[in-house]
Structure 1
Amino acid sequence: MRPTKYLLGFVMHLAFNLVSSTMDKRGCVDFYDPAAGGGSMLIDAGGGYGEPLNVIISGLSSPAVLTYDGAINYARAIGFSEECFGLHLGGLMSANLGDGDGWVNQTIEIRQDYGSAGAGTCLESLIGGNHFRIFVQNGTAADSGALFLAASKEEPLTENHDIVPDGYDIGRNNLVTGAVGRTSYGGVKYSTIAQNITGLLAAGSDGVNHGIAQDGIVTLLTVTII
């Protein structure tokens, strides 16, 4: 019976090491380049076109920021909130972050709240403004835990929420401006630093939705709860 006991112990030890190895990916890197795993920095907007993933919240951020509820609370701290009455109009978009999960629908869409986390996003739905979609890099092939955001500024409802001219760069810049430094919401205080990265996203309008050119800059945000 002893060989069986030793074999069982060896198998359990091996399984523990495999699980630990997978878990250790979290909190070790800012993100993994989606292209390295067959993914893309353009989300699928339909019709063969995409929208840029132009902001990344680093996997080295405080773990609580990288959860569903934590991301929403952080969004409220930087001037955004959930959609009006929690209702999403229009189709969902998907992204392939090269993490082994293939094309996955957005986790949530967040809109500018015009100073009111409760009702401000209803105003954004009417008059337009900034918004972003969140995608999580958490597949077993590249589990950084990073949040990839597709940010843009959109037209009012009367213009069918089309993206404004230069709206991808404007949306990214507005989001980053509101995020950098110290912010807070719901008793949670954040400190955010930003770094611009080139080489992940090709500049220009090739394959980009609405034919709107963007500058190819992706801003990496590292968010620390203080």
Structure 2
Amino acid sequence: MHAGLNLLALALVPFAFATPLAKRAVAYYAPTAGGGSELDNAGSGGGEPLNVIISGLSSPEVLTDDGIVNFAHALGYSRECLDIHSGAPQTANLGDGNGWVDQLIEIREDYGSSSIGTCLESLVGGNHFRVWRQNGTSADSGALFLAVSKEEDLSEHHTIVANGYNIGRNLLVSAALGTTSAGDYTYSTTAENVTGLIAAGSTGVNHGIAQDGIVTVLTVTIV
């Protein structure tokens, strides 16, 4: 009798472990709610606004390191010229318990060539963005936070153009909306403008350039 009960209990154990509770998916968590900031640390006494979020509700493949690079290709952006990065990486605190961490990657407008186009961007300027992932134990959305801006050319030391944070965000969002494709993937992207994550104005913003306080949340679905 006891042996039969023990066998029944053992039979139920794998079933219990095979059906864990599903984690609730969220688009993102506000960094400030966890002690973070919607401004990164540019290392010069100011920060760049994290003005675009790739929602955690996007297709999971998009939210990986390779996934965001391929999505960037679909929008006309690529890795930095020859994978060479000058200067120290910027850091961000997404309020997820990880504290201030280095950017994952920096991606630049490629002017139609994914192999060498970003070398041209380094010379003549253009749009670019830095990426962080919100994946700490206290706020694990998986969302990607992007600091997007349009910059001057090399002779101007890549400073941000006037109104460059708003312009950079809008250019990236415009390229992303609707259907795009790169490699073996086709993407369908929707956007929502969110206020309240960052105050409008220039307080604390790198170069003292005012921004409008709008963060655009992109939901990217592989179709």
User: TM-score when scaled to structure 2?
Assistant: 0.91
SS in 1 for 2:136: coil
Provide, for residues 4-53 of structure 1, a one-character-per-residue CA deviation record: whole Å limited to 9, x for no partner: x9xxx9xx99xx69xx56x714xx11000111100000000123311100
Corresponding residue number in structure 1 for 2:59: 62
SS in 1 for 2:149: strand
Corresponding residue number in structure 2 for 1:207: 204
SS in 2 for 1:192: strand
Q: Post-superposition, which runs of at least 4 consecutive aligned residues in structure 1 deviate over 3 A? A: none
Mark the runs of 5 or more structure 2 residues left unpaired by the alignment.
none
2:94 corresponds, among 97, 113, 128, to 97
Q: Note the aligned Cα RMSD (angstroms).
A: 2.2
Higher Cα radius of gyration: 2
Specify the code of the residue in structure 2 equivalent to 1:215. Answer: D
After TM superposition, list the pairs within 5 Å mapping 1:124-163 onto structure 2.
Answer: 124-163=121-160
Corresponding residue number in structure 2 for 1:216: 213
SS in 2 for 1:175: helix
The 2-side partners of 1:47 and 1:77 are apart by 32
After TM superposition, list the pairs within 5 Å mapping 1:2-81 onto structure 2.
Answer: 20=20, 24-25=23-24, 28-81=25-78
The 1-side partners of 2:27 and 2:58 are apart by 8
The 2-side partners of 1:97 and 1:187 are apart by 31
Percent identity over the alignment is 65
SS in 2 for 1:73: helix
Count the aligned residue pairs: 216
The 1-side partners of 2:59 and 2:106 are apart by 21
The 1-side partners of 2:44 and 2:73 are apart by 32
The 2-side partners of 1:35 and 1:45 are apart by 18
Mark the runs of 5 or more structure 1 residues left unpaired by the alignment.
none
The 1-side partners of 2:94 and 2:60 are apart by 19
